[in-house]
Amino acid sequence: MTNDQTTRILPVQRLNIKGPTDKPLPEWWASERQSKTPEATAIEEAAELLRTSDIPVAFPTETVYGLGADATRSAAVQGIYKAKQRPSDNPLIVHVDSLAMLERLLNPGMSAADTTDTPLKSIPLIYHKLLSRFWPGPLTIILPNPSGSSLAKEVTSYLTTFGVRMPASPLARLLIHAADRPLAAPSANASTKPSPTTAQHVHHDLHGRIEVILDGGPCAVGVESTVVDGLSDPPVILRPGGIGIDDLRQCEGWENVQIAYNDGSHEVKEAPRAPGMKYRHYSPKARVVLFEPECSEEKVAKRVRKDMEDSAVGSHSVGIVRTRHWAPGLGLYEPAEKEKTLQRIQEAPTGSLVSFSVPLKDHVKDCFTSKPAYDCALGTDVGLIARGLFAALRAMDDEEVDVIYVEGLVAEHGDLHAAVMNRLRKAAGAELKV
């Protein structure tokens, strides 16, 4: 596919919002197909592409939008790396629609009929309590890749293990069921860019590189799944996400689960055990400066103003992403415009951008000038912050902001706070404690 070809967005919000509450997945799909709904037609087209094409399909999950391909075909998985322009030594997470599908992956050659009664037979016991509580959901587990595995070697990046999850999104599971294939599916963004939480984000990054995007509306969680490894002793968290460490520790065998991820943005030399561990991720075009939560607002505002007055960045526009404590616009707006600016910022919907001017002293010309700035409040609830983070970074890029200053959170190990800070640290070019 070339960049002059069209990438189509197919609406499927109804299926993503209202799942099969009273019938099994196969019956739900059979009913949709029989009714010949527009959403069923879109799912059928996407499923056919997944079975036969080497060009991946974008689809929503409860975490972020995924870029899916048949995990059993090398050419199809290579299509993911090509579309994302992603390093091929970064492993991919496999998505399944059921425990029975996972059991077949762990037992190459096993038929669907053989997995009906014992879907947990080949899954290590350490995971049983975890899966009963958190699947379907934003949790990825690491499993041994069996001898004679049907998974393409590009999925595991030649590791002896693979990561797998069952998404909570009914639409995601329906697509996997309709395709009748396990799907390798990293986030549907260009490599290193902020993860996509809407179909429009996907289109911005990948138009011309893929054929179809299934539009299920905004994602509910906003950050990727938690990745855990129960094959080690003690078990460890490889990537923080939608499931917190306190929740994990309530499950038998996971009382002593440890942290095994590095929040730094530097690269590591060894092969990553899970996505998001090696390379810089989630980065907008603008430079991101992350302030730790203990930084005083007064010092932060002084630093931002100094940066804007510096001759190296004086002509640049800036963005301010607020979470818990920073005042609107960090108080940097024109004093004469204070009331109007505050009103516009306070009346703006959570996660939206509000422009204002910052008065600055031009020390060379000995006069005052004004520079553009944007304020974005993500709210104080960590769920709102997680859902709005990537969208805010993308919105700042759309306004061609040069530097984004972000108010950090207290990273309580393993929970959603830690997941947000993990992504911010990997996006940031600098992390400051002032």
Could you list the pLDDT tens digit for every one of the 434 residues in the chain?
545 568 999 999 988 876 666 678 889 999 999 999 999 999 999 999 999 999 999 999 999 999 999 999 999 999 999 999 877 777 899 999 999 999 999 998 777 666 555 567 889 999 999 999 999 999 999 999 999 999 999 999 889 999 999 999 999 999 999 999 999 999 999 988 899 999 999 999 999 999 999 999 999 998 899 999 999 999 999 999 989 898 999 999 999 999 988 654 334 444 455 555 554 567 788 989 999 988 899 999 999 988 888 754 445 789 999 998 999 999 999 898 999 999 999 999 999 999 999 988 765 455 667 889 999 999 999 889 999 999 999 999 999 999 999 999 987 544 788 888 888 888 887 666 65
User: Domains in the chain, please, with CATH?
Assistant: 8-134+141-217 (3.90.870.10), 287-432 (3.40.50)
What pLDDT is recorded for position 279?
47
For residues 145 and 151, the answer to whether their CB atoms sit within 8 Å is yes
For residues 391 and 351, the answer to whether their CB atoms sit within 8 Å is yes
Residue 151 burial (C-beta neighbours within 10 Å; 0-12, 13-18, 19+): buried
Q: Which amino acid is at 367?
A: C
- Beta strand segments in 337-399, E: 353-362, 367-377
What pLDDT is recorded for position 308?
86
What pLDDT is recorded for position 269?
44
For residue 228, the 8-state DSSP code is E
What pLDDT is recorded for position 87?
73
What pLDDT is recorded for position 405?
95
For residues 291 and 309, the answer to whether their CB atoms sit within 8 Å is no
What pLDDT is recorded for position 68?
98
Q: Which of 118, 91, 117, 96 is nearest to 173 (CA)?
A: 96
**Strand partners for 142:** 163
DSSP per-residue letters across 2-24:
-TTSPPEEEE-HHHHHS--SSS-
Q: Which of 273, 77, 260 is nearest to 161 (CA)?
A: 273
What pLDDT is recorded for position 268?
42
For residues 173 and 204, the answer to whether their CB atoms sit within 8 Å is no
- Pair of tokens at residue 334: 């024109």
* Residue 85 region by backbone torsions, left for phi larger than 0, else alpha for psi between -120 and 50, else beta: left
What pLDDT is recorded for position 412?
58
- Give me the sheet containing 403-407, strands edge to edge: 353-362, 367-377, 318-322, 403-407, 287-291, 430-432
Query: Which segments are annotated as binding site for L-threonine?
Result: 95, 165, 185, 225
Q: The pTM is what?
A: 0.88
Identify the H or E element spanning 132.
helix 128-134
- Give me the sheet containing 258-259, strands edge to edge: 8-11, 212-215, 57-60, 65-70, 183-184, 93-95, 161-165, 139-144, 226-229, 236-239, 258-259
- Beta strand segments in 225-348, E: 226-229, 236-239, 258-259, 287-291, 318-322
What pLDDT is recorded for position 274?
57
Query: Which segments are annotated as binding site?
Result: 63, 86, 90, 95, 161, 165, 185, 187, 195, 225, 239, 282
Query: Which segments are annotated as binding site for ATP?
Result: 63, 86, 90, 161, 187, 195, 239, 282
Measure the CA–CA gap between 137 and 83, rounded to whole angstroms: 26
